[in-house]
Chain A
């Protein structure tokens, strides 16, 4: 199936680029027709991306054989999370921002695509593959939630300062940004939680222990747990508005710092064997 890869490498950046163009036009014109077309093209892009992963994997291993494959996976995760958020809230004004990230990542992934595949033995296991996919999607969703928090913060500041400029005109209303951020954080927590859980199952299968003494795993688990506890407190205390947006943003920054620290400590795949 590797012979199908080249057309995908052209098609995917083109599709994400087209979706991005529609979202940019939607942002400037406000035409709902254009916005809906953008969403449709994004949906098609995601389906084609799925096709790419199938072609890339030959249905035998998980398709992240090098860093550019990973980049493509992150592009798809961001697009998927954004797609779900837009479908749920009906708000497409932030599409241009998130799809530009997907487009940039996919363009780089396609441009530097490497045909030769070096398959790490872990990738041949479907449980590990799903674990990686869910974890990446979860982290992307938390990042999106953090960005929504930042957008809220910026817009609120602009409204408060009575300086009604570009941000004011180009963003959805504050309550909508808050809803999108909340939804994204839920998606992130669930996806990442499931991803980590699958990782633990895989560890159990390989090492006969649910909690291997691996710093990367420990840091990720703790970071997720802290985020979850924070999320529950926010829910119980009914935090909202600017306080909530700041928490979302700093929560993700903290989480990202933890992951980076984990990667600094352990740069390879988890040291199971």
Chain B
């Protein structure tokens, strides 16, 4: 049976989170099974991508059934995964579809959040793990290399991954329209929960260094402040902090306004009417909406941010068709490369083709000539076949060595000599 790329997996599209959690593999587990795979006869190469949203096995193997069988036995034998594979049927893709799948994954086209960026580094990590394992996997190495370059190309050539699609990141994107950088800006974060921390993290990633954390609970506030080299303040200090803060993020569960119109008005005179960006990601809102009427204040609440996100997601969807074209280009390129690897099977099948004809012709004379004449004829025909094939085979080898072998050439040879048929007959014989 001829080898092909197989993809078997579970993702957010076909499996619930409980199942995905159980199927997820740790790095040491992945490294441990690579060695095991190399001893398998039915699977030439195997790699795995395991994230919180997907566990996908990519194999270079004869068929999906043997790979699935191996995956089942792996989970069964591991002992650490309480997983019933019958619970959720994995998707199985083969050939170009499997190649396309890895390219799509790498580009974030298959992600829960369309165009997410993290997945590209996760695909790179999976590739690095494969390299670290030391197991020879030339085909999958090439596949991962191509998929990563496809992901990169889509990120640069299209807007699939552009624009914020999370509340905290949308807040940072908005701030970038008011301030070109955040090095000199003072950022006041009201609240110390998960959203507050995520927003600080995004601002920090974008170069912000001056943070002030104001929180009702001193313990939580100080903890967050210490983590990001910020100063901690009580909620009562907010009116004073407004005089120096350029960006204010409110992210608490407070049921009342923590910033009111009068306080901001007073602070405006003290700060010489410098611009102030306020982002209220709390529900219910913590910043009095009336503050929006102050000329120098740019106030956004969670609804405004969600509008921005919805718009960005829509823009990303519009980029899908361009991204698909790039995926197809990379898939075809990889298939071409894979085909060029088939020079050895092509030569072998060519030899078999000529040998078959030679045998059939000689057989026609078996009862008409003596055994010594038969021997002579056999030698003659062998010499003829060898000479007839000498130049074509050498030329094919040279092309393959120089990586100049065009998949079209292989295709033409296969069609000229009906090698597909020959290959199928051989597969049948092998199975038999």
Contact = CB atoms under 8 A, between A and B. Distances in A.
Contacts of A168: 177
Interface in A137-176: 155-156, 159-160, 162, 164, 168, 172-176
B274 A173 contact: no
Interface in B298-341: 298, 300, 304, 307-308, 311
Interface stretch (A36-44, A53-61, A238-246): A238-246
B412 interface: no
A174 B275 contact: yes
Interface in A227-241: 237-241
Nearest to A246: B295
A79 B299 CA distance: 37
B292 A173 contact: no
Given A175-B180, A242-B296, A162 B275 contact: no
A240 to B, nearest CB: 6
B179 A175 contact: yes
At the interface, is chain A mostly helix, strand, loop or mixed?
helix
B180 A241 contact: no
B273 A243 contact: yes
Interface residues of B, number: 19
Interface string B272-307: 111100000000000000001001101010001001
Contacts of B275: 174-175, 240-242
Contacts of B395: none
B304 A162 contact: yes
A241 B296 contact: yes
B272 A240 contact: yes
Given A160-B292, A160-B298, A240 B274 contact: yes
Contact of A164 (B272, B274, B296, B308): B308
Nearest to A159: B298
Contact of B180 (A155, A159, A173): A173
A174 B176 CA distance: 9
Contact of A240 (B273, B292, B307): B273
B60 to A, nearest CB: 37
Contact of B178 (A91, A159, A238): A159
Nearest to A179: B180
Interface in B248-281: 272-275
Interface string A166-201: 001000111110000000000000000000000000
Interface residues of A, number: 20
A174 B295 contact: no
B287 to A, nearest CB: 14
Nearest to B178: A174
A241 B176 contact: no
B177 A173 contact: yes
Contacts of B292: 160
Nearest to A178: B275
B296 A175 contact: no
Nearest to A169: B177
A202 B177 CA distance: 47
A113 B154 CA distance: 48
Nearest to B296: A241
A91 B292 CA distance: 29
B273 A241 contact: yes
Interface string B223-241: 0000000000000000000
Nearest to A91: B180
A26 B199 CA distance: 30
A176 B180 CA distance: 6
A162 B273 contact: no
Contacts of A239: 272-273
A242 B272 CA distance: 12
Contact of A172 (B180, B298, B307, B308): B180
B298 A175 contact: no
A173 B247 CA distance: 14
Given A162-B307, A173-B179, A175-B178, A241 B274 contact: yes
Nearest to A244: B273
A78 B296 CA distance: 31
Nearest to A89: B180
A173 B273 contact: no
A241 B246 CA distance: 12
Nearest to A238: B272
A224 to B, nearest CB: 27
A175 B274 CA distance: 10
A91 to B, nearest CB: 8
B176 A173 contact: yes
A168 B180 CA distance: 13
A3 B118 CA distance: 62
B122 to A, nearest CB: 26
A183 B361 CA distance: 92
Contacts of A242: 275, 295-296
A159 B177 contact: yes
A174 B174 CA distance: 11
A238 to B, nearest CB: 5
A239 B176 CA distance: 22
B64 to A, nearest CB: 42
Nearest to A158: B177
Interface of A: 91, 155-156, 159-160, 162, 164, 168, 172-176, 237-243
Given A168-B177, A174-B275, A240-B275, 19 more contacts: A155-B177, A156-B298, A159-B178, A172-B180, A173-B176, A173-B177, A173-B178, A173-B180, A174-B179, A175-B179, A175-B275, A237-B272, A239-B273, A240-B273, A240-B274, A241-B273, A241-B275, A242-B275, A243-B273
List 6 A-B pairs, minimum CB-CB distance, nearest first. A173-B180, A176-B180, A241-B275, A174-B178, A162-B304, A238-B272
Interface of B: 174, 176-180, 272-275, 292, 295-296, 298, 300, 304, 307-308, 311
17 contacts: A159-B174, A159-B177, A159-B178, A162-B300, A168-B177, A173-B176, A173-B177, A174-B177, A175-B275, A176-B180, A238-B272, A240-B273, A240-B274, A241-B274, A241-B275, A242-B275, A243-B273
